[in-house]
A and B are shown apart, each in its own frame.
Chain A
């Protein structure tokens, strides 16, 4: 990474400084707060933790740093299991949204020009309704005497209702439904910019459509795939609303666990430690993406 050369009286530094300032204010600073809280000790008071800065006298700062929260996260298998289970759910739902979103984005990008806008609108339109209400609507669709079961029973296809709500299936339906646009939009953006002459050239040279897709379209759309996967994977890791409303009791996810620590246990430090760990886990794929991007830039 190149740092901007120091004193050069130009507007350039200022422009570069804005995103750094933004990151420091809205990412680094809150994270430092969380980190500080995670190193404190919980207590029954208002606020429910003991500040790590205990004393400040004669220019001496007395700190009490408690590593017990991180120790507990490692010791108690519950948290490790929750992390693994969140990773699994996030990875699997990212794959599902990709499998569903790719053909959609592809079809929209290849559709006649005047069709593209209406089709994109169909993807974006549901976003105009509150996320919470849309997740609630799925309860009405999936529940035992909900829309699907009533229809299937009226048609005589099943005798007793299928159990769908409060199962992992419902969680995946909710996640895929809610995050699909985050996958489709970046995919569409890369697919629409694809140089069609490459495909024409391949066809002229006798390449079959399926092979054209595998050797040209797919590799060139990889940045879109990656961006979409990030946009789905990262928020799903910390997802709380969907597993809480649609999931069954055995859906173990970090977001729910954090809620318990914060609200039921009033253990803000432990909840913060969990949040810090989650953040570190999420930064790794982000770093990988940056690495990948830089390599492709260098290749060009």
Chain B
């Protein structure tokens, strides 16, 4: 009996060794991406085609990503920062490595307009490959806002948040602002009709005065909480990313709770942003990252992701593969008239960033 159990143990040990050897032999790719930013089967397809095992982690803010990168040895091979100011700053800090464009067989699929918009921060397009893009505007609970403001009120304006008279009326059913100083300050400057990319101290003070006037009517500052709260009817007006507001709309539809959510690009202008793919300079397996980038550049791969996450991709060849209702959604693929109102944010200098962040803490805490 004893020898029998010993035999079993030996077999188990041999199996464990074999499994370990197999794992060691299999190539691994460590991807760090935003939460809810990929289709359900994307990783499985890549794994089947290449045999590379993808270890996938998610974050919900650029700050968390950047903190890990700056600490060093993050262990990630591929990351998805927002181009401005984050990837711009990461390039300046020298923590990204070049992408080998020649090896990317599907690089030509990229939309030249979007690629061109990155030209000033990544000259020659050697580091950043655009992934998805979107805008930052306002998500509203249509019925509740109409009930408060009346049927003929103009809704596509930052006044919904920054006009204290309007926001006081809406405060009861809930207004949220993003916990992102640059986004909010730019929106406030746009509401004033002034240069949104002016980060001088006078400009910041002007913007702060606008935000402070509306502050008593703001329920909270958060950059992802509003998805759930909009969908559940806990919030009337949310400052948020286009795709996130649209995800809230879809969640409310699925729940069948009668909440109708709409995404609006304010007439005063809204930030347009691009999230890019990039390889950290200390990536353990940049070759695999390279293969994954090329995989994501394929129209048949990226189109289903857009269908799933409700963000427009940067792939011109993929547009025709995207679902009709997504392609026609003005919140995702905006018409030309809306595009003219887009604001491309400038990267504030280090000094400006610090004064912006300190001002932001003051605004949030009402000091």
Question: Measuring CB to CB, which residues of chain A are less than 8 angstroms from any residue of chain B?
Answer: 44-48, 76-78, 81, 143-145, 160, 166, 248-252, 257, 260, 262-267
Residues of B contacting A249 in the complex (Cβ-Cβ under 8 angstroms): 215, 218, 220-221, 364-366
Evaluate whether A166 and B220 lie within 8 angstroms (CB atoms) in the complex, with A250-B365, A265-B353 already known: yes
Contact A45 B94 (CB under 8 A): yes
Name B89's contact: one of A44, A78, A160 (CB within 8 Å): A44
Evaluate whether A264 and B367 lie within 8 angstroms (CB atoms) in the complex, with A46-B95, A143-B234, A248-B220 already known: no
Name B354's contact: one of A250, A257, A265 (CB within 8 Å): A265
Evaluate whether A251 and B67 lie within 8 angstroms (CB atoms) in the complex, with A144-B174, A145-B234, A265-B354 already known: no
B residues 331-367 near A (Cβ < 8 Å) are: 350, 353-354, 357-358, 360-362, 364-367
Residues of A contacting B93 in the complex (Cβ-Cβ under 8 angstroms): 44-46, 48
B residues 48-93 near A (Cβ < 8 Å) are: 61, 63-64, 66-67, 69-72, 89, 92-93
Residues of B contacting A145 in the complex (Cβ-Cβ under 8 angstroms): 232-234
Asked if B219 is at the interface of the complex by the 8 Å CB criterion, the answer is: yes
Asked if B7 is at the interface of the complex by the 8 Å CB criterion, the answer is: no
- Not counting A144-B174, A145-B233, a sample of 16 additional A-B residue pairs whose C-beta atoms are within 8 angstroms of each other reads A44-B92, A47-B71, A48-B70, A78-B361, A166-B219, A248-B219, A248-B220, A249-B221, A249-B366, A252-B365, A260-B357, A263-B61, A264-B181, A265-B354, A265-B357, A266-B66
Bound Cα distance A143, B71 (Å): 37
Bound Cα distance A170, B72 (Å): 37
Give the secondary structure class of B's interface.
helix
Name A260's contact: one of B92, B215, B361, B367 (CB within 8 Å): B361
Closest to A257 in B: B361
Bound Cα distance A77, B358 (Å): 11
Q: Could you jot down 21 A-B contacts, CB within 8 Å?
A: A44-B92, A46-B71, A46-B94, A47-B72, A77-B367, A144-B174, A144-B234, A145-B232, A166-B219, A248-B219, A248-B220, A249-B218, A249-B364, A260-B357, A260-B361, A263-B63, A264-B63, A264-B357, A265-B353, A266-B67, A267-B354
In the A-B complex, the 6 residue pairs with the smallest Cβ-Cβ separation, listed nearest first, are A263-B63, A252-B365, A249-B364, A250-B366, A48-B70, A44-B93
Which of B64, B66, B69, B364 has the largest number of chain A CB atoms within 10 A? B364
- A48–chain B nearest beta-carbon distance, Å: 5
- A145–chain B nearest beta-carbon distance, Å: 6
Closest to B172 in A: A160
Bound Cα distance A81, B70 (Å): 29
Residues of A contacting B350 in the complex (Cβ-Cβ under 8 angstroms): 44
Which of A46, A47, A143 has the largest number of chain B CB atoms within 10 A? A46
B residues 283-321 near A (Cβ < 8 Å) are: none
Contact B358 A76 (CB under 8 A): yes
Residue interface mask B166-177, A partner, CB < 8 A = 1: 000000101000
Bound Cα distance A77, B63 (Å): 25
Residues of B contacting A78 in the complex (Cβ-Cβ under 8 angstroms): 358, 361-362, 367
